Amino acid sequence: MDRFAAICSRQVGREISLAPGSGASGGLGAGLILIGAELHPRYDIIMQYLHIDQLLDDCDLVFTAEGGLDFQTPRGKLPAEVARRAKKRDLPVVALAGTIGRDAEVNYEIGIDAFA
């Protein structure tokens, strides 16, 4: 895979293996970069449609969810952004996850108060 990534990087003129959105589960992201797409953090796109800030104005408690909560969650996954925005309103945040992965406790630092 490293060799393939090097060939692709030469083809597009930039290092794609380190580009945000192209890692571990980001094979799709790397492929999109190869055809000229510009990647954005998913919460940037979601926030255009869900208007989370307006929804938070009427909340007393926030639930968010993720397939896998781990050390990567604070790096651009939607539950992290929801938690950051909820904390600006002093709202408690509970994250529900399909799996709890390595170093999931780092999520306390970004505003998730509890997870299961």
Q: Where residue 20 falls among pLDDT bands split at 50, 70, 90? A: low
Rounded distance between C-alpha atoms, residue 30 and residue 98, angstroms: 25
Q: Please write the tens of the pLDDT for every residue from 70-94.
A: 998 998 788 999 999 999 999 999 9
Q: Would you call 3 exposed, middle or buried from its count of C-beta atoms within 10 A (0-12, 13-18, 19+)?
A: exposed
Mean pLDDT of 20-36: 71
- Element spanning 54, H or E: helix 52-56
pLDDT at 113: 97
Residue 24 has pLDDT above 60, yes or no: no
* 3-class secondary structure, 57: coil
85 neighbors 53 (Cβ within 8 angstroms): yes
Mean pLDDT of 45-60: 88
